[in-house]
Amino acid sequence: MERLDKLLTSTGRWSRREVRQLVKEGRVLVDGIPATGPEQKLDPALSRVLVDGEEPDIREFTYVMLHKPPGILSATEDSRQKTVLDLLPPELRRRGLFPVGRLDKDSEGLLLLTNDGALAHRLLSPKRHVDKVYYIRTDRPMGLEDAAAFAAGITLADGTACLPARLELLGDGREALVTLHEGKFHQIKRMTASRKAAVCQLKRLSMGTLVLDETLRPGEFRLLTREEVSKIGGKP
């Protein structure tokens, strides 16, 4: 059971004060009966809420797929720099979304934003080994020896041991796909540096079952479909 005002504000369309006013004016119906107050409790799966005769989208959680462009911080707020939240409209920004895992400022590609903390925790848990696939471009062609080193598990310059990862060479080896099962700070850049090469471009293509929608241009976003939400283990 959830409070009516919590459910309605979670849509991002109204503030708590506005919900109070809507209820007072009798514009909110719960199962056909005017709501008694903003604190009224209901089960959103069982009860039907109408505001001015329309059914608002009161899903418990919001899941957004963003095609992060380079140059933007994967954070919720920053006093000086633009963050991924700044790319969303106010209606979505009000929902308390945060990025699930980070991409470096100069990295791009798939970023999931949600307010489902339990799902974020599951997706990021090292024990779950959720695969993440990245496209990279490097300053020199990578070769089979590099792929073997990635597969064996790279030890970074500071002694940190990485889990085995997959390096799939493309073309002349200056491009590749990397699959990681974990997410350490600057991991791919540092793994590549340990092979005496540098990453020039890094783009995340997928995270578990969630694949970047290539119709989204950098900076664009969309809500996940219900199918995508249930496949990654969220609440559709």
- Residue from 3, 47, 69, 104 touching ligand URA (CB under 6 A): that is 104
- Please tell me whether residue 107 binds ligand URA under the rule CB under 6 A: yes
Tokens 């540092």 label which residue? Answer: 190
Query: Which one, 35 or 133, has the nearer CB to ligand URA?
Result: 133
Q: Minimal distance in Å, beta carbon 184 to ligand URA?
A: 8
Indicate the residue among 138 and 187 with the shorter CB distance to ligand URA. Answer: 187
Catalytic residue among 43, 52, 104, 139: 104
What's the one-letter identity of residue 109?
G
Q: Residue 190 region, left (φ>0) first, then alpha (ψ -120 to 50), else beta?
A: alpha
Strands (E), 22-106: 28-30, 33-34, 41-42, 49-51, 63-68, 98-99
142, 141, 187, 186: which is closest to 164 by C-alpha? 187
Query: Is 104 part of the annotated catalytic residue set?
Result: yes
Which window, 4-12, 141-149, 155-163, 183-191, contacts ligand URA (CB under 6 A)? 183-191
Residue 138 lies near ligand URA (rule: CB under 6 A): no
Among 59, 189, 193, 218, binds ligand URA (CB under 6 A): 189
Tell me: does residue 182 bind ligand URA (CB under 6 A): no
Among 64, 97, 103, 212, binds ligand URA (CB under 6 A): 103
Q: List, in sequence order, every residue forming a beta bridge with 137; answer none if it has no partner.
A: 175, 201
Closer residue to ligand URA (CB): 68 or 224: 68
Contact between 190 and 156 under an 8 Å Cβ cutoff? The reply is yes
Spatial distance between the Cα atoms of 160 and 23, rounded to a whole number of angstroms: 56
Whether 194 and 120 have beta carbons less than 8 Å apart is answered as no
Site for ligand URA in 25-54 (CB under 6 A): none
- Residue of 35, 88, 120, 188 interacting with ligand URA (CB under 6 A): 188
Q: What SS3 class is residue 80?
A: coil
Question: Quick check: 114 binds ligand URA (CB under 6 A)?
Answer: no
For position 22 contacting ligand URA by CB under 6 A, the verdict is: no
Q: Does 131 bind ligand URA (CB under 6 A)?
A: no
CB 229 within 8 A of CB 235: yes
Q: If we measure between CA atoms, which residue out of 120, 88, 66 comes closest to residue 12? A: 88
Q: Taking the CA of residue 97 as centre, how many other CA atoms within 13 Å lie in the half-sphere pointing to its CB?
A: 28
Applying CB under 6 A, the residues found at the interface with ligand URA are: 103-104, 107, 186-189, 202
Active site residue ranges: 104
